[in-house]
Every structure is written in C-alpha cells, then in structure tokens.
C-alpha cells in the first residue's frame, strides 16, 4: 500500500518563497553600491532601479485597470508604506555599513509579532517566544560585539524606520490578500518610486547629489538589477498576503545571513566569531518559527 505524499499547502510554499526572496535581498546592496560608484549617490540608486520596474509592470495596469481603480485606496496605502520601507532601506545601504543596515531593519520581527498580537488577535505561542529570543540574541551578538561603536547615523535611522514601516506594511498586505499579487507588486514599485522621488526633491545634498554618468554606460547594470528585483518582489509580497506579519518578519531573516556573509566577503566589513554566532541564532529563529509555531486567534483559545 502506497503512503500518500504529504500535501504542500500554500502557506508552506509561501514560507519557502519568502526564505528564497529574503536571501536574494541579502545581495541587494551589491548593485546599490555599484550604482553609487558610478555616481548615483543616495536616493538616486533606488530611483533608477524602481523606474524601469514600474515601466516593465505597466502592462499590469492595462490588464487590471478596473480592479485597480476599485481598490486604489488599499493599493495606494500598501504601496506607499511598503515602498517607503524599501526606499529608506536602499538609501541606508549607502549611508551606513551593510551589516548595520540589515540588522537594524530586522528589528522588524519584534514589531511584527506585536502588531499580529494586538491587531490580528494572534496568540503568541511558546515557539514564537523562543524564536524571538533567538532572533534578539543573534542581533545582540552581532551588534554588541562587532566592534562598531559609532553613534546612530542617518543611515542607521533610515534602516530602523524602514523596518518599522515594513512591519506595518506587511500587516496591510496580509489584510489585502484578496488583491492580486501583480497589482500589489506594481503598487509597491510605484510607491517606492514616488517616495524616492520625494527624497530627491526635498533632501539635502548628501541624499540627492549626483554626478551624472552616461546612461548608456550603466544601462545594462540598471536593467539587470531591475530584472532581478522584480522576482524578488514577487517572492516577498506574495507570501506577505498569506502569512502573518510575525512569520513574514522571521522568515525574511534569511536576508540577514546572506547580507552579513556577502558584506564580510566583498564589502570589507568585519566577519568574526560573533557574526557567525549571531547568524546561526537568527537562522535558528526562522527554523523554530516555521516548525513550531501555529498561530491561532485568541478567541479560539477560550
């Protein structure tokens, strides 16, 4: 008698996709820094990435015009919040160390779990508590012993705020799961482009200054980066419509490991025993979250 194969649920696929997408975001700093080296300082690097993304996704507007008009308020809210989160994150990757930027962004799970508890009525299971302890310990291991004792700078602050905005945005995405993912991706890129454009208009020289290189010299880099960002966005936003904010924040911690390791290898930033221990703790937090957490509404526990 054949044993039936286990059923792969949408939540399982979404969790796997989110881990892959998070890992891909872990190398997002590389094209950002490459563009900076070509003269795209501060917010300009994000602007030239999100602009072609919006252009490539324009057919979605034509195909889903009716639905997008009907849901424009929800799409605008989700797009501006999540877009602002990643716009700030992209800028922070230039204004501060990659490791600091990634880790400050990933205070998100703490906020996501709080939002899930207070606004979604999720019960915080022992597994989630353990996962949060592991994640916090990993962050402390890296931040506390990395040898970087500089005061919080503008890039650090942007990374911190971007994590908070992503926690809020992932909650909105979860509540807007009836809206198709392509529409959400378009609203995200549109929101990121708008927010980045606003920074270019109102920010000081440190954020908006640019030495204009030849467009043709960097067209291949910009185009390739945009083509890589789009699937990363789908792998990030689709799971966020199926999984709770706390789960999203913890699974996205795959970006921490990839970001820390690649930064240590190629950015000249330190990677020692404390970073290795912190990365293991953070990965363990994600595993505990996937294998041990089964969120249920508080009302069902009565």
Instruction: Count CA within 13 A, CB hemisphere, residue 233.
Output: 28
Which residues have CB under 8 Å from 293's CB, separation 6+?
125, 127, 128, 131, 247
Mean pLDDT of 108-127: 74
pLDDT above 70 covers a percentage of the chain that reads 83
**Looking at residue 193, what is its pLDDT?**
94
Q: Which two tokens stand for residue 140?
A: 């402390």
Q: Is residue 92 predicted with pLDDT exceeding 70?
A: yes
122 DSSP β-pair partners: 297
Mean pLDDT of 224-237: 91
Which range has highest mean pLDDT (107-121, 179-193, 233-247)? Answer: 179-193
Its pTM stands at 0.81
Mean pLDDT of 102-117: 74
Q: Is residue 248 predicted with pLDDT exceeding 70?
A: yes
Q: What are phi and psi of 297, to 5 degrees?
A: -60, 145
Alpha-carbon distance 95 to 78, whole Å? 26
Residue in the structure block whose two tokens are 């649920």: 9
Alpha-carbon distance 223 to 112, whole Å? 33
Q: What are phi and psi of 122, to 5 degrees?
A: -75, 145
**Looking at residue 211, what is its pLDDT?**
58
Q: Is residue 183 predicted with pLDDT exceeding 80?
A: yes
297 DSSP β-pair partners: 122
255-284 pLDDT per residue, tens: 888 888 898 889 887 777 877 787 788 778
206-226 pLDDT per residue, tens: 665 665 555 567 888 888 999
Mean pLDDT of 223-238: 90
Mean pLDDT, rounded, of the chain? 81
Residue 297, SS3?
strand
**Looking at residue 301, what is its pLDDT?**
42
Alpha-carbon distance 29 to 15, whole Å? 23
Which range has highest mean pLDDT (86-95, 234-243, 287-296)? Answer: 86-95
Alpha helices in 6-57 (DSSP H): 10-25, 29-37, 43-56
- First-to-last alpha carbon distance for the chain, in angstroms, is 41
Residue-wise DSSP of 43-89:
HHHHHHHHHHHHHHTHHHHHHSHHHHHHTHHHHHHHHHHHHHHHHHH
**Looking at residue 165, what is its pLDDT?**
92
């Amino acid at each position: 008698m054949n044993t039936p194969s286990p059923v792969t649920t949408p939540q399982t696929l979404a969790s796997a996709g989110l881990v892959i997408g998070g890992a891909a975001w872990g190398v997002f700093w590389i094209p950002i820094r490459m563009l900076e080296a070509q003269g795209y300082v501060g917010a300009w690097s994000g602007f030239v990435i999100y602009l072609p993304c919006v252009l490539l996704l324009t057919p979605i507007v034509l195909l889903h015009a009716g639905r997008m008009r009907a849901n424009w308020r929800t799409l605008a809210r989700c797009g501006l919040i999540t877009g602002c989160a990643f716009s700030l994150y992209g800028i922070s990757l230039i204004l501060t160390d990659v490791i600091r930027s990634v880790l400050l962004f990933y205070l998100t799970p703490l906020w996501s779990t709080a939002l899930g508890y207070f606004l979604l009525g999720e019960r915080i299971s022992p597994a989630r508590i353990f996962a949060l302890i592991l994640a916090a310990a990993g962050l402390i291991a890296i931040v506390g012993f990395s040898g970087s004792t500089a005061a919080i700078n503008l890039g650090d602050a942007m990374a911190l705020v971007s994590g908070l905005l992503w926690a809020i945005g992932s909650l909105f995405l979860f509540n807007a799961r009836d809206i198709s993912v392509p529409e959400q991706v378009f609203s995200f890129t549109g929101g990121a482009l708008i927010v980045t454009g606003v920074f270019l208009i109102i920010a000081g020289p440190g954020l908006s200054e640019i030495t204009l290189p030849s467009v043709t010299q960097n067209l291949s880099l910009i185009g390739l980066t945009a083509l890589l960002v789009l699937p990363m966005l789908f792998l990030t936003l689709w799971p966020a419509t199926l999984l709770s904010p706390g789960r999203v924040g913890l699974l996205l911690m795959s970006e921490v490991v990839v970001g820390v390791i690649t930064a240590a290898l190629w950015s000249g930033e330190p990677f020692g025993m404390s970073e290795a221990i912190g990365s293991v703790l953070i990965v363990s937090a994600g595993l505990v979250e996937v294998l041990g957490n089964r969120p249920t509404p508080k009302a069902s526990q009565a």
